[in-house]
Structure 1
Amino acid sequence: MNKTNKEPSRKLLAVFAHPDDETFICGGTLAKYASEGVDITLVSATRGEMGRRMGNPVYINRETMPAIREQELRRACDSLGIQQLIFFDIRDKTVEFVDEIQLTNRIADLINEVNPDVILTFHELLGGHPDHCAIGKATTAAAEITGRRESLYFISYGDTMEHPEGFGYTRQDVVKVDVFAHLEAKLAAFRDHRCQTEIDEWVWQNDQEALARFGRYEYFLKGSEAARVQEQEQEQDDLFVATCVAQH
């Protein structure tokens, strides 16, 4: 009998607030790791039912929005290669008001179940939207109580962390992921979120023009003080390598 030794797959858990967070902010990175065989689980705390964009021309309403945004997110997951999707079914724009301990424990249970090598979420102060900050705070606390703080990374907007000094961080605190080879998947996911992107004309231009609007890199802030103090001789460009360095 022939026996093969199969390496355990790497796992990534992304805990976000709304449908489209995964695509608009770090879709290239998720597509990159999915293409490398990483097992990705995505949490959307809400179904985005309070979003103000309803298609262009409008084709949905407040009642139909949750189901439509779920469908669009599932299509985006297919485009990006995300295998597992979980909804917490918290009402949109109320994440900051749910019981923080219960939310933290729910995420901690999921961390223990998934056993991820990398955890992505929002920074609790730099997330921008209150839902983003609240889910980021709870995920950070969950990573702490499960002993996974060194696996934690905060997503960031655009190229803001190309100059992290303005936020009180250094380049050593940032992982810069090259997503150039995966921008087509990111664009497909943008288009999957139709009700949110139809108003943005550039998304629907020809592929070459639309792809030119994306940056080549996506940036992640290390969520662990231990990870940030690691001495690195070169810029880090892989979340999984950075995690291994921090844990050793």
Structure 2
Amino acid sequence: MDNNKKTTFSLIPADSRILVVLPHPDDEAFSLSGTLAKHIAQGGQVTYACLTLGEMGRNMGIPPFTNRIGLPTIRKGELEKSAEAIGIQDLRMLGFHDKTIEFEVKEVLDGTIYDLIVELKPSLIVTFSPGYSVHPDHDATGAAVVRAVERLPQSERPLLHTMAFSKNCYAELGQPDIENDVSDFLENKMKSIQAHRSQFQAVEMLGQNKLKDKEIKERFGKERFWTHSV
């Protein structure tokens, strides 16, 4: 990777707004919670639009402490705790159904995202990279964001950064355009991860398996994004 690549914060003013559009509670935790905390610490605003409550998630806690009926309420609370840990000022829960984003009526899904963009006028939107984000909800969310941005006049379109995880993402997309050092915001990031207690135990922070500070920095201290042309 080119060590001279720009970070998110050299591309947008420090006091500007980022709009994050992701489908599930916990999608933010591992991938960009440090980036968001860093932006907020520099005076920026963040709106996180979460499409679903992750009500179809497989995990009910380890060991289980809820059930299918109670899971949406649990995950809503976890999302709120994660957003608080990051410092997010504006959390929107949009009420779509988990594991069905690809089947939503495009006019409704795209229109909801478009209306948010028009309302907020963000300098940057962050979402998943369509086709390279493993989960169908991830891919469908990214595709909907791209379509919504494309409805705007060219001169009014914000920057669009995407996150990708598929095995072929580096081969087909190339190296990420942005590698953001978030090592100074690992406390926010680990608290964000830990907030989603129903979905995973943050073994990195617990008991005999707890990683040393250096190991945490190496594993979680960089967040990477691709620039998506629209």
* Superposed displacement of residue 82, structure 1: 0.7
**What corresponds to 2:8 in structure 1?**
none
Q: Given the alignment, which residue of 203, 221, 225 partners 1:220?
A: 225
- 2:164 corresponds, among 156, 167, 170, to 156
State whether residues 150 and 223 of structure 1, in contact with CA within 8 Å, keep that contact through their aligned partners in structure 2: no
In structure 1, distance between residues paired with 2:173 and 2:217: 30
Shift of 1:201: 2.8
Q: Which residue of 1 aligns with 2:4?
A: none
1:62 CA displacement: 0.5
Identify the residue that residue 146 of structure 1 maps to in structure 2.
152
Alignment of 1:1-248 (within 5 A): 9-147=15-153, 149-157=157-165, 164=170, 166-169=171-174, 171=175, 174-198=177-201, 200-205=202-207, 206=210, 208=212, 211-212=216-217, 214-224=219-229
- Aligned to 1:194, the other structure's residue is in SS state coil
Preserved CA contact (<8 Å) 1:177 1:217? yes
Say whether the 8 Å CA contact 1:25–1:157 is kept in structure 2. no
Choose 145-154 or 117-126, whichever is displaced more. Answer: 145-154
Q: Distance in 1 between matches of 2:75 and 2:172?
A: 33
TM normalised by structure 2 equals: 0.85
Normalised by the length of structure 1, the TM-score is: 0.79
Q: Using the alignment, how far apart are the partners of 1:213 and 1:157 within structure 2?
A: 18
The question of whether the paired residues in 2 share the 8 Å contact of 1:44 and 1:88 is answered with yes
Deviation at 1:155, TM superposition (A): 1.6
C-alpha offsets along residues 167-207 of structure 1, whole Å, 9 cap, x if unaligned?
243x4x61111111111110011111111122x53342447
The question of whether the paired residues in 1 share the 8 Å contact of 2:183 and 2:217 is answered with: no
Mark the structure with the bigger radius of gyration: 1
Matched-pair contact (CA < 8 Å) for 1:197–1:203: no
Q: Which residues of structure 1 form unaligned runs of 5+?
A: 1-6, 226-248
**CA deviation vs aligned residue, 1:122-181 (integer Å, no higher than 9, x gap):** 1111111000111110001111112454511102349x97xx3x1243x4x611111111
The higher relative CO (CA closer than 8 Å, separation ≥ 6) is in 2
CA RMSD of aligned residues (A): 2.4
Question: In the alignment, is the contact (CA less than 8 A) between 2:25 and 2:79 conserved in 1?
Answer: yes
SS state at 2:220 partner: coil
| Secondary structure at 2:59 match in 1 | coil
Residue in structure 2 matched with residue 228 of structure 1 by the alignment: none
Q: How far, CA to CA, are the matches of 2:173 and 2:164 in structure 1?
A: 14
Give, in whole Å, the separation in 2 of the partners of 1:150 and 1:14: 12
SS of the equivalent of 2:24 reads coil
Provide the rounded CA distance (Å) in 2 between the counterparts of 1:97 and 1:139.
15
Query: What CA deviation, in whole Å up to 9, does each residue of 1:91-145 have, x standing for no partner?
Result: 1101111101221111111001011001001111111100011111000111111
Tell me if structure 2 keeps the 8 A contact 1:25–1:156: no
Distance 1:168 1:86, change over 3 A: closer
TM-superposed CA distance for 1:53, in Å, is: 1.0
Q: How many residues align?
A: 213
